[in-house]
Amino acid sequence: MKNQVQLITYVDRLGGRRDSADLKRLKTLLCDAASPLGGVFGGVHLLPFFHAIDGADAGFDPIDHTQVDPRLGGWEDIQALTDGLDVMADVIVNHMSAESPQFLDYSEKGEASAYAGLFLTLDAVFPQGASERELLAVYRPRPGLPLTYAALKNGERRILWTTFTAAQIDIAVRHPQGRAYLTGILKAFADNGIRMVRLDAVGYAIKKAGASCFMMPETFDFIGEFAAEARALGIEVLVEIHSYFQRQIDIASKVDWVYDFALPPLVLHAFSFRTAAALKRWIAIRPTNALTVLDTHDGIGIIDIGADASDREAHPGLVPPDELDALVDRIHAASQGQSRQATGAAASNLDLYQVNCTFFDAMGRDETAYLLARALQFFLPGVPQVYYVGLLAGHNDMDLLARTQVGRDINRHYYDEAEIARDCERPVVRRLIELIRLRNTHPAFGGRFEVEPGAADELCLRWHQGDAWATLRINFASLAHELSHSADDGDPQRFAFS
């Protein structure tokens, strides 16, 4: 993976049109020298582009995980994109669509189906039956049990395991059919030039009677085996887990890459509470084989800096509970209450551990603070990713939220080409692009990182390699700041945030 900033985007939501080959359009946008975004990024994470992109969960419920949605283009367009960029794709490990041909065949034929072992049932996990205590021990990020009563087309009645929604049927990943299904996805990706994958929802992939069914030792074993299979095909693996911060550290030691999901709420905490203390504690222990993010297609994680729900006394969070609660309220206030309409039980949103809001609005549309947050993200060890809405300093899409009543859609705006062109002329976006280019090209970022000593409200990050150096200083109490770096002419240069 290149040590350069990556973009995270839906293919059809960044300059796309449903009546055209959006992958070709995206390649022009990101690779054409005449485009305002041409050559800005070293890689791109394409959010689900599989058939179909407009299911129950915006492509995260694939009907056919090995087919490009024809409205976007074909595999030849993915291959063309890999000529100029590192391309990452999702392997949706835990589930597939209830509209998939495999599940439809199972529904019609029951146990006589060739895919009968592919889908996880309650009996498969609890062959002796499940007690109330055992069912309550199962961790789920949403209210209720991860089970759906289903009347199959052949008349059979089954209780299916559905971690997320009834439209997303969990896969028996340890069954030979489950293994063959996932191997087929990896091979299709490798054959078409994809060299990085994100394992979506992998923390829930293994189920075990009497256990939490989330990030158990058996889950780590499965991740290790799957990652080894991917590496044998020349593919690096990113594991996506929202969980207690120590668990992220543990996971990072076993995989190629993890997300630094603690960073977004800690950055907001630092600006909101005018202190770098919690952020500096995290920087001292965080894994460095991390993709740093401030925003993604999901919400801003709260669980990632909170106490461990299994034992809050023994395993406290990175910030105190009262400050965590206050932080959520301050995000709602900064967004003029818009995020409150998309978070918690609102707007059919069931991801109770996330706040749904664009990061720019979560920071109260303060352009200087927003650029400082991005600079901080880019200075931490790891590979930065920037979400397409964050790239354009996007606002909450209240119209889309009203139409869909899906909380996360507040941060999943559809940009047409004219809107992209206009936003790229905004000063905050122009400076962010300059900051990305600096991160991608300055030799200091390939050298040694250090945090300089300072007061609790001060943060000073420094990179140096040979004569090249770059330093970021932020005082969160006064918001005084400076980003300076070496230049070819020998005179230090400063980056202008405003």
Residue 347 is predicted with a pLDDT of 36
Q: Which of 77, 200, 304, 397 is catalytic?
A: 200
> Does the pLDDT at position 319 exceed 60?
yes
Q: Give me the residue spans of the domains in the chain.
A: 6-92+177-446, 101-168, 450-494
Whether residue 350 has pLDDT greater than 60: no
Which pLDDT score, from 0 to 100, does residue 24 have? 93
- Is 123 noted as a catalytic residue in this protein? no
Residue 368: which pLDDT band, with cuts at 50, 70 and 90? very high
Q: What is the pTM of this model?
A: 0.94
**Cα–Cα distances in Å, from 461 out to 309, 454, 471, 487, 495?**
32, 11, 6, 18, 15
Residue 452 has pLDDT above 90, yes or no: yes
Strands 468-475 and 458-465: antiparallel
Tell me the average pLDDT across 422-444. Answer: 97
Residue 442 burial (CB count, 10 A): 18
Mean pLDDT of 475-485: 96
pLDDT at 346: 46
Q: Which of 22, 240, 260, 295 is catalytic?
A: 240
Q: Mind listing the pLDDT tens digit for each residue in 390-427? A: 999 999 999 999 999 999 999 999 999 999 999 999 99
Specify the higher pLDDT residue, 252 or 42.
42
In this predicted structure, what is the pLDDT of residue 20? Answer: 60
Output the pLDDT for position 21: 66
What gap in Å lies between CA 145 and CA 140, rounded to an integer?
7
Neighbours of 381 (CB within 10 A): 18
In percent, the amount of the chain with pLDDT more than 90 equals 85
- Render pLDDT for 93-115 as a digit per residue (tens, 0 to 9): 999 999 999 999 999 999 999 99
User: Rounded mean pLDDT of 285-311?
Assistant: 91
Q: Does the annotation mark 221 as catalytic?
A: no
**At 18, is the pLDDT very low, low, confident or very high (cuts 50, 70, 90)?**
low
Q: Locate 401 and state its tokens.
A: 């939220």
Cα–Cα distance for residue pair 294/380, rounded to 1 Å:
12
The pLDDT value recorded for residue 242 is: 86
Identify the three-state secondary structure at position 314: coil
| pLDDT of amino acid 315 | 87
Query: What distance in Å separates the CA atoms of residue 282 and residue 55, rounded to the nearest whole number?
Result: 37
| CATH number belonging to domain 6-92+177-446 | 3.20.20.80
Q: Worst-scoring range by mean pLDDT, 152-166, 304-318, 364-378? A: 304-318
> Who wins on pLDDT, 313 or 487?
487
Q: Provide mean pLDDT across the span 462-476.
A: 97
Q: What is the mean pLDDT of the chain?
A: 93
Assign 19 a pLDDT band (cuts: 50, 70, 90). low
Give the mean pLDDT of 231-244: 92
Tell me the C-alpha distance between 464 and 169, whole Å. 49
Cβ neighbours of 93 (radius 10 Å): 26
CATH architecture of the region 101-168: Alpha-Beta Complex (3.90)
Buried-exposed string 209-221: b where 16+ CB fall within 10 A, e elsewhere? bebebbbbeebbe
Give the model confidence (pLDDT) of 53-90 as tens digits.
988 888 899 999 999 999 999 999 999 999 989 999 99
Q: Which of residues 250 and 66 earns the better pLDDT score?
A: 66
Short-list 394, 397, 392, CA closest to 409: 397
